[in-house]
Amino acid sequence: MLYATASIAVFPAVLYKLERWRKSCVHLAGMAYFFHFVSVVEMLVQGHSWVPVGVREAESLLGFVVASLFLLVWWLYDAISLGIFALPITFFLVFVPSLGLVRYTFPSEGVRTSWLVAHIAALFAAYAALGFSLLASILYLVQERRLKSKLKVQLASGTTAFDWLPPLDTLERIAHATLLFGFPCMTVGLVIGSVLVQETSLGAAYFQDPKVIASFLMWFVYVLLIFIRQAAGLRGRRAAYVSGAVFIVMLAVFAANAFSHVHRFGAQ
């Protein structure tokens, strides 16, 4: 929970340079790291080994290393920007082992179905938001070209062909707002999916599923797009091109579903 809260706090801290969120993020990450350190020590002592003996233990240690590097970079260079990637990745790596050393099972089929519906709904909302952001970006390009070329195709009503398009600033804000809306939806969808996959034969080794790999790649590119748009001031034509590239990655995630042997929409 501490890693999850720190992962949320890092975005306003980095994207909007809010000092209060920055301090909260560092404090939460520090507390999470301390309890994680205690957990790792207890895990190794109970296992009578200095190396991980299972996939879940390896994931927990990998998350610990990622958190260590992030805190080291922050301490040496006062750079919190890498936390946008490091903290959510650490959370995902630690979340699955926290479910237990044995395969996780839902208390009933109804509970599992509810989680499955939430998983699919969250991911579809993320995909729809990204698609809407791309559409707004494309309309931005059309409106920009129309204004620059001053092309006026007169209709019978005496209006121009693209008078129905909103202003450039409105289209830009729509593209950015839908992009921000889709990110938490995708994150929630991946978290729920990480729980659902524990009932499969893969268990903690869920990264062996090509669809899971593609989904996390999609999430990583999504974070990168938000970071670039906000930190580098990416707007207009360049933002539209980047949104198009992310949309292609999203299509690749759907294509990976055909090769997944673990879970597919509509599979029994």
Asked if residue 104 is part of any domain, the answer here is no
Q: Where are the alpha helices (DSSP H) in the chain?
A: 2-15, 19-47, 55-77, 83-95, 109-149, 168-196, 210-231, 236-256
Same domain? 43 vs 155: no
Nearby residues of 267 by Cβ (< 8 Å), 6 or more positions away: none
Same domain? 80 vs 186: no
Same domain? 223 vs 185: yes
Tokens of 201: 């034969």
pLDDT at res. 17? 83
Query: Is residue 249 within 8 Å of 218, Cβ to Cβ?
Result: yes
pLDDT digits 0-9 by tens, 154-184: 444 455 555 667 777 888 888 888 888 888 8
Nearby residues of 165 by Cβ (< 8 Å), 6 or more positions away: 139, 142, 143, 146, 171
Asked if residue 267 is part of any domain, the answer here is no
Tokens of 83: 């936390």
DSSP 103: P
pLDDT digits 0-9 by tens, 73-113: 999 998 898 888 899 889 988 887 777 666 667 778 888 88
Sign of the C-alpha dihedral computed for residues 65, 71, 73 and 76 taken in this order: negative
The residue from 38, 70, 99 where one domain ends is 99
Domain housing 92? 2-99
Output the CA angle 57-58-62, nearest 5 degrees. 120
Q: Please report, rounded to a whole number, the percentage of residues in the chain having pLDDT higher than 90.
A: 17
Same domain? 254 vs 215: yes
The closest of 1, 2, 11 to 184, measured between CA atoms, is 11
Q: Compute how many other C-beta atoms are within 10 angstroms of the C-beta atom of residue 93.
A: 21
The residue from 99, 127, 144 where one domain ends is 99
Same domain? 85 vs 211: no
Asked if residue 238 is part of any domain, the answer here is yes
Asked if residue 266 is part of any domain, the answer here is no
Tell me the pLDDT band of 260, cut-offs 50, 70 and 90: low
Q: Compute how many other C-beta atoms are within 10 angstroms of the C-beta atom of residue 135.
A: 16
Residue type, 245: A
Same domain? 81 vs 125: no
Instruction: Give pTM, 2 decimals.
Output: 0.72
Same domain? 67 vs 156: no
The residue from 99, 117, 151 where one domain ends is 99
Asked if residue 170 is part of any domain, the answer here is yes
Same domain? 249 vs 159: yes
Q: What is the CA radius of gyration of the chain?
A: 22
Tell me the pLDDT band of 3, cut-offs 50, 70 and 90: very high
Tokens of 195: 């729980």
Same domain? 254 vs 163: yes
Asked if residue 153 is part of any domain, the answer here is yes
Same domain? 123 vs 247: yes
The closest of 91, 104, 110 to 195, measured between CA atoms, is 104
Output the CA angle 123-129-130, nearest 5 degrees. 90
Alpha carbons 220 and 214: distance in angstroms, whole number: 10
Same domain? 92 vs 170: no
The closest of 217, 219, 204, 222 to 262, measured between CA atoms, is 204
Same domain? 155 vs 66: no
| Domains held by the chain: number | 2
Tell me the pLDDT band of 4, cut-offs 50, 70 and 90: very high
Tell me the pLDDT band of 257, cut-offs 50, 70 and 90: low
Asked if residue 9 is part of any domain, the answer here is yes
Q: State in Å, rounded, how far the first CA of the chain is from the last one.
A: 32
Asked if residue 265 is part of any domain, the answer here is no
pLDDT digits 0-9 by tens, 116-125: 899 889 888 9
